[in-house]
């Protein structure tokens, strides 16, 4: 700029209102500031502020979206079944069902055993009355006694086994011999049923056994005797003598 031009500019400035001049300088300074800012950041500060404001809006929107998603997730969790509780309830129901069927099974087993025991008692009852000649109501009373019932025990295979007076030693019948009949005769021989309640047999008789001290042929075995011969032998010689014969 030429000196004359500079002097003219100074004169013009002197004529301008100071407030207006200061405002003009401030605006000019702001304009010049945007130039280096834009050179350094690729955009002006005003443009950056607009982008920052837009990003802030997007961020708030994202936060709100997350909040909405969290709320939806909470609602879904409320609606979905409680797996742990469902499993626990299911297990409890199955256990209850198992107990129910176990009870039914045990009841059926008890009924079955009662049926078998009743059938065996009937066999012994018949033997007491018909083979041992015990008065009927006395036979029933004897079988109802606890110490007698304890000698008739169920085995693991479901059968009923008879025991001697100690309720521990099995009562073994000879081959072909009815163990219920043997048990009935044993009760009479042990005087579990008093002798006065045993009636004399009707039409007692049969072969006269000879050869032993009691008239029994040598080598006579229980297994070789017929049912009638066993009955007649016990009637004649007693239960103890019969049990002492070889099986």
State the residue range of the domain holding 159: 91-202
> What are the pLDDT tens digits along the chain (247 aa)?
677 777 777 777 677 677 666 666 666 655 554 555 455 555 566 777 787 788 888 888 888 888 888 888 888 777 766 777 778 888 888 888 888 877 776 776 665 556 677 888 888 889 888 888 888 888 888 888 999 989 988 888 878 899 999 999 999 988 888 988 999 989 988 888 888 888 766 544 444 433 344 455 555 778 888 777 887 888 787 777 777 787 7
Structure tokens at 240: 């103890």
Residue 230 inside a domain? The answer is no
Residue 238 inside a domain? The answer is no
Residue 176 inside a domain? The answer is yes
Q: What is the pLDDT of residue 230?
A: 81
Map 13-61 to HEC letters. Answer: HHHCCHHHHHHHHHHHHHHHHHHHHHHHHCCCHHHHHHHHHHHHHHHHH
Q: What is the pLDDT of residue 115?
A: 66
Domain count, the chain: 1
Structure tokens at 245: 């014969």
Residue 76 inside a domain? The answer is no
pTM comes to 0.40
Q: What is the pLDDT of residue 116?
A: 72
Residue 70 inside a domain? The answer is no
Q: What is the pLDDT of residue 163?
A: 94
Residue 20 inside a domain? The answer is no
Residue 132 inside a domain? The answer is yes
Residue 158 inside a domain? The answer is yes
Q: What is the pLDDT of residue 12?
A: 73
């Amino acid at each position: 700029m030429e000196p004359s031009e500079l002097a003219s500019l100074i004169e013009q400035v002197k004529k301008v209102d100071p407030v207006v001049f200061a405002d003009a300088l401030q605006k000019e300074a702001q304009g010049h500031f945007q130039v280096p800012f834009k050179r350094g950041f690729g955009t002006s500060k005003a443009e950056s502020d607009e982008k920052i404001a837009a990003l802030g809006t997007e961020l708030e929107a994202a936060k709100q979206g997350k909040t909405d998603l969290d709320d939806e997730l909470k609602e879904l969790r409320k609606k979905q079944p409680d797996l742990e509780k469902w499993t626990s309830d299911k297990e409890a129901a199955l256990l209850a069902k198992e107990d129910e069927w176990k009870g039914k099974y045990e009841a059926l087993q008890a009924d079955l055993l009662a049926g078998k025991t009743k059938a065996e008692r009937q066999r012994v009852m018949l033997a007491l009355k018909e083979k041992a000649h015990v008065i009927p109501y006395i036979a029933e009373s004897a079988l109802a006694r606890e110490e007698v019932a304890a000698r008739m025990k169920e085995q693991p295979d479901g059968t009923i086994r008879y025991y001697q007076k100690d309720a521990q030693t099995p009562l073994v019948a000879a081959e072909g011999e009815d163990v219920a009949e043997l048990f009935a005769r044993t009760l009479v021989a042990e005087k579990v049923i008093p002798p006065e309640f045993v009636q004399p047999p009707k039409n007692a008789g049969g072969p006269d056994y000879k050869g032993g001290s009691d008239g029994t042929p040598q080598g006579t075995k229980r297994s070789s005797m017929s049912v009638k011969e066993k009955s007649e032998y016990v009637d004649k010689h007693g239960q103890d003598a019969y049990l002492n014969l070889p099986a």
